[in-house]
Structure formats: C-alpha cells, structure tokens
Amino acid sequence: MYLTIDLDSKAPIYEQVSNAIKERIARGDLKEGAQLPPVRQLAGDLGVNLNTIATAYRQLQTEGLVTVKHGSGVVVNARTAGRIAAAGNDGELRAPLRTALTQLVLAGWTRGRILSLVTAELKDMLKGAR
C-alpha cells in the first residue's frame, strides 16, 4: 500500500498514517472486508517503526473503522452512518473544519476558490463510496 506521509511534519506519524487510511476508506478505495497490509510490511514500506503503525491501526480500531483479528490481519468494517463514536460529538467534528477554513481565508483564498476545492474533494471522496 502506498501512502504519502511527511516524516518532518509536526503531526505525529501514526496520525498521518491513520488519516491516510481513513481517506482511502472514505473514498471507497478500501471497501468493506478489504485487508490492510500487515504491520511489519507497512512499517517497512514507509520506513518507520513497527509501533508507529501498530498505534495507527489501534486508533482505526478504536474508531470502529476496522477490526483487528489476532493472527489473521486487519480488515475494513462495513460502513454505518454515525459509527464513529470515538470521534466524539458534533463540535469536535466541526472545529477542525473551521480551523482549516480559517487558515485558507487568512492566506487570502477567495470564497470561490475555497468552495471549488471543497466540492472537488467531496466529489472525489463520494464517487466510489457506498
């Protein structure tokens, strides 16, 4: 599996990994029942520590997106609306959006440019999905 992560970024690597996998799931690249690569293999591919990948998978499990089957790998769960209990309430979902939009506005992006980026991203995510 190919994932783009930035080892120099401020964001923790395990989170970059889990986010990248979430995106794959969100856009339907990884459908229900799909297997994630073994921890050792992904760690090797990305050149990071085993624990880092293990933490990323654990987080995905906590959020209910995947199931870890001891000895037989990690598989993607069926999508159930509102399933992301761990992600918390509405406010915790909205805050990151607002922060991201704030950054774009302060960087001088126009309303139109932002909206077209958003719709493009959404289109991308929802094309293959359930």
Partner DNA sequence: GTGGTCTAGACCACG
Partner DNA sequence: GTGGTCTAGACCACC
The footprint of a second copy (CB under 8 A) covers 7-8, 12, 19, 22-23, 25-26, 62, 65, 67, 69-70, 79-87, 93-94, 96-108, 111, 114-115, 117-119, 121-122, 125-126, 129
CA distance 94 to 42: 31
**Min CB(112)–DNA separation in Å:** 34
Cβ nearer to DNA, comparing 87 with 115: 87
> d(Cα 123, Cα 120) in Å, to the nearest integer?
5
At 36 the three-state DSSP class reads strand
Nearest in space to 7 (alpha carbons), one of 72, 67, 16: 16
* Contacts with DNA, 23-62, as mask; x by CB under 7 A: -------------xxxxxx-----xxxxxx-xx-xx--x-
- Per DSSP, 85 falls in state G
